[in-house]
């Protein structure tokens, strides 16, 4: 029985590791090509008192959720390269901010902050998606994001 449990743990770790680090050129994570028909159909981004507790100990964690709440329709149209679509069943980058995943995953947080910055610059969701696929979000410094003055 111990061997079976040990083998199951190894298999699950291998699958999770593969999902996290799969080649983006081979497999684009889940996203929606078009905005939702009605913004009201989107689940809410966490906000207010929900942005406290053990998942929100750094200023950037709260800030990235505030930014995400301003661009939910854009996030809906973007993939998330932490591979949470496979590991958690997420449908787009928007899903990461419906719960605490966006606060504990630096990939999600950086992609969300990148999407917000590019939206403010007038980029379309397609242009932002292209930038995410080129990993431009990696340039985001979350510590600077959370220390706005």
Quick one: how far is CA 134 from the chain centroid? 16
Q: How confident is the model at residue 30, as a pLDDT?
A: 73
Coil, helix or strand at residue 91: coil
Give the DSSP letter string of 108-125: HHHHHHHHHHHHHTT--H
24-36 tens-digit pLDDT = 455 887 777 888 8
Supply the range of the domain harboring residue 123.
Answer: 2-146
Residues with Cβ within 8 Å of 4's Cβ and at least 6 positions away in sequence, in order, are: none
Q: How confident is the model at residue 3, as a pLDDT?
A: 55
77-132 tens-digit pLDDT = 998 887 776 777 777 889 899 999 999 999 999 999 999 999 999 999 999 999 99
pLDDT at 145 exceeding the cut of 80: yes
When divided into structural domains, the chain yields a total of: 1
Q: What angle do CA 19, 95, 78 make, to 5 degrees?
A: 75
Determine how many CB atoms are found less than 10 A away from the CB of residue 35. 14
pTM assigned to the model: 0.78
């Amino acid at each position: 029985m111990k061997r079976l449990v040990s083998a199951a743990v190894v298999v699950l770790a291998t699958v999770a590791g593969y999902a996290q680090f799969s080649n983006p050129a081979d497999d684009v994570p889940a996203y929606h090509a078009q905005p939702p028909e009605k913004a009201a159909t989107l689940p809410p981004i966490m906000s207010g008192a929900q942005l406290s507790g053990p998942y929100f100990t750094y200023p950037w964690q709260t800030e990235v959720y505030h930014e995400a709440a301003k661009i939910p329709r854009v996030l809906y149209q973007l993939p998330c390269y932490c591979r949470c679509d496979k590991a958690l069943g997420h449908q787009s980058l928007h899903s990461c901010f419906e719960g605490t995943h966006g606060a504990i995953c630096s990939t999600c947080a950086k992609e969300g902050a990148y999407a917000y910055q590019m939206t403010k610059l007038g980029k379309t969701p397609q242009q932002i998606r292209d930038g995410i696929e080129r990993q431009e979000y990696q340039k985001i410094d979350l510590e600077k994001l959370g220390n706005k003055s």
